[in-house]
């Protein structure tokens, strides 16, 4: 489809672009102390975008000369991105980090990042893949270093830049190898070209797949490409940490699934065996080992943390590992499990980070000891935090259990050769209980026990917390409609 024609189907992204422009102009008009008002313009734009996403139904052929797909699969991830962006913007009002900064830009950068994530979820051309990743990465560097007076924020940004540049360089190299082999940049044409390749191209093909996997692994912070995660997560403003732990990860999974299914897969709809082009390398086993390593490393290091924020950073690595468990076979139920997990994870993880932001603002710290006696000082916040911790552990009846349930179901369904992976997964769940429940322990079992409520919560805080807690709880026992919605989103645009 030609560029001009494509624009008529590109409403969500166009609205986002206008939102960015409006935010930048609004930032020029507001005075510094009013700059938080920019957020409302962005929120309005996001609401319109959400509406546009919901309106666009069905799978459309490749937009912009076959570089962008508009399908239910992409729309699902766009909805995830919009929900998380909205919550992160709302959470920013309570952020102690951002006090004293001009924040108009901050909100417009968030909107640009959402735009980049949209592209990540829908790219079907390797050039577009790279562009989308770079838009998201550069915006993340800005946001991680947004606190220019804060040394660790600067450090986070710099580390992020170095790691990001390095890994996207490697990925670009992989993509260029692939282009050299196939002579095209489009996913489907690539697959057809790969099918024609002789066995002597195997080495180059495998190298390129490995390099590309490095790039994706960096985006979803899979072990051993995770080393940037804790420092960046710790140094960034906590709102951005929350955002980075959810939205880019979701988009990274979307891109990874789409790329490997359509380029190296057999091109059939999700559900049959993927990786057929690479079947002389034990890919499923390799990815399974990466998944096991990711969750184990994330969990074992999370145990040792003394800061709740850093603990959540490491645990987000572990969560990426749980999701990767469902990747090896690329079966329909595996992808389905990842999508359900991402949705559930979004609410509980944003909720946990929001409590960290809130406690940081009220008490001034983020170590475990700062949570002592929180159950008595802020019963509501502590109660909700308990729910998020229980959900992140994966105990029923919370959303976290449903996410894990679908993931484990996919692994078990794949056959007995993957039972070991399920076993590693459940053992990791038990390990994670130890550090998640530690937060609960500090809130309720340690510290002064006074029955007075000394710190009432503000209205906005209450609304955000409830808005995050309700799905976290309700999806734990009623998820039929959500499951159906995600099931219908499993349609990946196939062919030209």
Which residues bind to other proteins, rule: CB under 8 A? 390, 395-397, 401, 405, 408-409, 412-413, 416, 419, 422-423, 426-427, 429-430, 433-434, 437, 440-441, 444-446, 449, 451, 477, 479-480, 483-484, 487
Least gap, CB of 442 to other proteins (angstroms): 10
Q: Which is nearer to other proteins, 145 or 375 (CB)?
A: 375
Q: Which is nearer to other proteins, 40 or 477 (CB)?
A: 477
Q: What is the distance between the alpha carbons of residues 129 and 415, in angstroms, rounded to a whole number?
A: 33
Least gap, CB of 82 to other proteins (angstroms): 25
Least gap, CB of 419 to other proteins (angstroms): 7
Q: What is the distance between the alpha carbons of residues 162 and 8, in angstroms, rounded to a whole number?
A: 38
DSSP letter (8 states) at residue 262: I
Q: What is the distance between the alpha carbons of residues 131 and 430, in angstroms, rounded to a whole number?
A: 40
Least gap, CB of 19 to other proteins (angstroms): 36
Least gap, CB of 412 to other proteins (angstroms): 4
- Tokens 């999370």 belong to 302
Q: Which is nearer to other proteins, 426 or 463 (CB)?
A: 426
Alpha-carbon dihedral 89, 94, 100, 103, rounded to 10 degrees? 10
What are the distances in angstroms from CA 489 to CA 77, 492, 493? 9, 8, 11
Q: What is the distance between the alpha carbons of residues 236 and 147, in angstroms, rounded to a whole number?
A: 8
Q: Which is nearer to other proteins, 106 or 401 (CB)?
A: 401
96: closest CA among 385, 309, 377, 246? 309
Q: Which is nearer to other proteins, 102 or 487 (CB)?
A: 487
Least gap, CB of 434 to other proteins (angstroms): 6
Return all residues near 272 (Cβ < 8 A) that are at least 6 apart.
266
Q: Which is nearer to other proteins, 310 or 438 (CB)?
A: 438
What are the distances in angstroms from CA 378 to CA 61, 105, 148, 363, 364? 52, 33, 32, 11, 15
Q: Which is nearer to other proteins, 53 or 270 (CB)?
A: 270
């Amino acid at each position: 489809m030609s560029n001009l024609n494509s624009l008529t189907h590109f409403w969500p992204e166009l609205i986002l672009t206008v939102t960015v422009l409006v935010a930048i102009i609004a930032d020029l008009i507001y005075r510094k102390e009013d700059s938080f008002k920019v957020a409302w313009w962005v929120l309005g734009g996001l609401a319109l975008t959400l509406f546009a996403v919901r309106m666009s139904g069905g799978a459309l052929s490749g937009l912009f000369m076959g570089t962008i797909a508009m399908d239910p699969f992409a729309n699902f991830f766009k909805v995830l991105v919009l929900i998380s962006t909205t919550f992160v913007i709302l959470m920013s009002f309570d952020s102690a980090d951002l006090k004293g900064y001009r924040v108009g830009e901050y909100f417009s950068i968030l909107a640009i990042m959402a735009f980049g994530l949209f592209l990540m979820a829908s790219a079907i051309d390797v050039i577009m893949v790279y562009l989308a990743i770079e838009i998201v990465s550069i915006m993340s560097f800005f946001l991680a270093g947004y606190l220019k007076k804060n040394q660790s924020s600067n450090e986070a940004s710099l580390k992020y830049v170095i790691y990001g540049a390095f890994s996207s360089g490697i990925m670009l190299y992989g993509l260029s190898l692939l282009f050299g082999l196939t002579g095209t940049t489009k996913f489907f044409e690539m697959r057809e070209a790969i099918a024609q390749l002789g066995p002597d191209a195997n080495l180059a093909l495998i190298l390129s797949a490995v390099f590309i996997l490095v790039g994706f692994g960096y985006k979803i912070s899979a072990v051993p490409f995770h080393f940037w995660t804790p420092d960046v997560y710790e140094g960034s403003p906590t709102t951005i940490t929350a955002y980075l732990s959810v939205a880019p990860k979701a988009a990274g999974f979307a891109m990874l699934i789409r790329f490997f299914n359509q380029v190296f897969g057999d091109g059939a709809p999700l559900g049959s065996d993927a990786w057929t082009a690479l079947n002389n390398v034990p890919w499923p086993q390799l990815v399974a080992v990466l998944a096991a390593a990711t969750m184990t490393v994330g969990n074992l290091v999370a145990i040792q943390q003394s800061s709740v924020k850093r603990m959540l950073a490491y645990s987000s690595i572990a969560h990426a590992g749980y999701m990767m468990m469902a990747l090896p076979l690329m079966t329909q139920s595996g992808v389905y499990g990842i999508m359900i997990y991402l949705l559930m994870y979004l609410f509980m993880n944003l909720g946990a980070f929001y409590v960290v932001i809130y406690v940081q603002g009220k008490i001034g710290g983020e170590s475990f000891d700062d949570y002592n006696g929180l159950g008595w000082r802020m019963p509501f916040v502590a109660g909700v935090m308990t729910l998020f911790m229980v959900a992140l552990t994966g105990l029923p009846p919370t959303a976290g259990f449903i996410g894990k349930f679908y993931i484990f179901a996919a692994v078990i369904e794949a056959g007995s050769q993957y039972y070991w992976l399920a076993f590693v997964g459940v053992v990791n769940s038990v390990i994670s209980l130890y550090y998640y429940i530690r937060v609960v322990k500090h809130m309720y079992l340690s510290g002064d026990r006074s029955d007075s409520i000394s710190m009432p919560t503000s209205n906005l805080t209450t609304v955000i917390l409830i808005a995050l807690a309700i799905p976290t709880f309700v999806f734990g026992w009623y998820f039929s409609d959500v499951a159906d919605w995600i099931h219908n989103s499993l349609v990946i645009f196939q062919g030209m």
